[in-house]
Structure 1
Amino acid sequence: MGRNPSSSVPIKTSALTVDTVEMVQQGIEKSRRGNYQGALKDFNQVIAENPQDIHAYFNRGYAHSSLGQFEQALADFTIALKLDPQMVEAYVNRGNVYLQLGEDEKAIADYEKALEINPNDAFAQNNLGLAHLNSGSPGLAKIDFTEAVMIDPLYGEAYYNRGLALLDLGERENAIADFQKAADIWEEMGEKIAAQTALAEIDALKKASQ
């Protein structure tokens, strides 16, 4: 767990010709199964047939980023945003790539743009917090994670991440409370490994204070 950007952004589907829709959907299904190379072939074919298919660019960017091909992913998300400057998911996903590359300021700019368009995007708010945390601004990160859990009170990752920010701020007891909240949410959702990670943070803090 920890400082990886949330990737729970809906994959977009296309609405052009039947063949294009089927090919994009086929690529999406391959991505969901982890067959990103196969997905890339499908999205490449769609783009070759229709260079204006925004959803093919977006989903190809997602596949590239999943393969660690970050420069290609950035290029695809940027094209998607040129085709639709209001595409929140493209800003969030491009921000995720920048975050992976350690380009925190660019990530912050993309997340802020996404939130300007949709202030209720909990994923963007959480990831903005991660970018602020990584750039050495735990106070701003705390605010971001708080906004995220206000949008989605069952967002375990945002509670966990706020716990990390609180630790950086020296707020040990509040951090423990957030780790416990994250663990409770994850336990309820059946995410046992995530819950164990949060509980391990609590155990480590308690042992360190003995």
Structure 2
Amino acid sequence: MFNYLHQVVRFPVVSSQYSLKKKNIFVYLSSLGLLLLVINVIMGCNHQSSSIPIESSLLTVDTVEMVQQGIEKSRQGNYEAAVDDFNQVLAQNPQDINAYFNRGFAYSSLGQFEQALADFTKVLKLDPQMVQAYVNRGNVYLQLGEDEKAISDYEKALKINPNDAFAQNNLGLAHLNSGSPELAKIDFTQAVTIDPLYGEAYYNRGLALLDLGETKKAIADFQKAAEIWEEMGEQTASEAALAEINALKANN
């Protein structure tokens, strides 16, 4: 089993300030108004883990256990300690793809973006088909304002897995940030086609529609996002979408 933390850009809670600050994507990237890059879940894929216990005359640790320990520390927000765990694994097994991926996540969460890029790039050298490494590296490029590189990584992820709604949504964010709302609209539409309950993608498409002057359609998307989040119990996100609607109606 291939274990890793998956970081995704989520976009549910922003204010109507977007229309004034659309060139700064990091004004409005958030997860329930709190986090930019979020831990989603420990996921599995059909990939043989390279995390195996390695015997050493200098140091012997169970690298599987150490990777899991690092993942748990990352989930708790203790990223520096997580990096230390992954460093120990890599000292014994420099080809451990799990450790590189999760260390990349921890580095990005610490704002150490160059180190994160290096780790995700290493992962892709070890496994050029790993979709989430492209997505996560794209997220880092997006944070650095390197929209074209982010777009390239999301497109590579989608070439491998066209049904990845996260990658499709994030591609839309990159297009939106680079001043291409029409392309972003297409991306977000594809994301909700893949996942009809993807509240963030509806919300994001609403923002793209605002850029295109399609206010009524934007309101409909914000309403759809609010309904989905309400059903999922994400009350804060739902209220933010409804606040966006109220602000638009008040200005018209």
Distance in 1 (CA, whole Å) between partners of 2:101 and 2:133 is: 7
Structure 1 gaps, min length 5:
none
- The answer as to 2:215 corresponding to 1:180 is no
Which residue of 179, 200, 203 maps to 2:246? Answer: 203
1:94-173 equivalences in 2 (<5 Å)? 94-173=137-216
Distance in 1 (CA, whole Å) between partners of 2:50 and 2:120 is: 18
1:1-40 equivalences in 2 (<5 Å)? 1-2=13-14, 3-4=28-29, 7=38, 10-11=41-42, 14-18=49-53, 19-40=62-83
Q: Which amino acid aligns with 1:187?
A: E
Q: Report how far residue 10 of structure 1 moved.
A: 4.9
Aligned partner of 2:92 in structure 1 is 49
Q: Which amino acid aligns with 2:212?
A: L
Change (3 A) 1:201 1:173: same
Contact 1:111 1:125 in 2 (8 A): yes
Contact 1:6 1:126 in 2 (8 A): no
Contact 2:50 2:97 in 1 (8 A): no
Contact 1:156 1:185 in 2 (8 A): yes
Contact 2:37 2:109 in 1 (8 A): no
Distance in 1 (CA, whole Å) between partners of 2:37 and 2:200 is: 8
TM-score by length of 1: 0.95
Contact 1:10 1:89 in 2 (8 A): no
Greater RCO structure (CA 8 Å; 6+ sep): 2
Q: Report how far residue 11 of structure 1 moved.
A: 4.5
Contact 1:123 1:148 in 2 (8 A): yes
Structure 2 gaps, min length 5:
1-12, 15-27, 30-35, 54-61
Distance in 2 (CA, whole Å) between partners of 1:156 and 1:168 is: 19
Q: Which amino acid aligns with 2:129?
A: Q
Contact 1:9 1:123 in 2 (8 A): no
RMSD (Å), alpha carbons: 1.5
Q: Report how far residue 12 of structure 1 moved.
A: 5.8
Structure holding more strand per residue: 2
Q: Which shows bigger deviation, 5-14 or 86-95?
A: 5-14
- The answer as to 2:115 corresponding to 1:72 is yes
Distance in 1 (CA, whole Å) between partners of 2:94 and 2:193 is: 40
Contact 1:54 1:80 in 2 (8 A): yes
Distance in 1 (CA, whole Å) between partners of 2:84 and 2:37 is: 26
Paired residues in the alignment total 209
Q: Which shows bigger deviation, 41-50 or 14-23?
A: 14-23
3-state SS of paired residue (2:102): helix
Distance in 1 (CA, whole Å) between partners of 2:73 and 2:51 is: 20
User: Once the two structures are superposed, what CA deviation does each residue of 1:98-119 show, in whole Å capped at 9, x if it has no partner?
Assistant: 0011100000000000000000
Identity of aligned residues (%): 78
Q: Report how far residue 16 of structure 1 moved.
A: 3.1
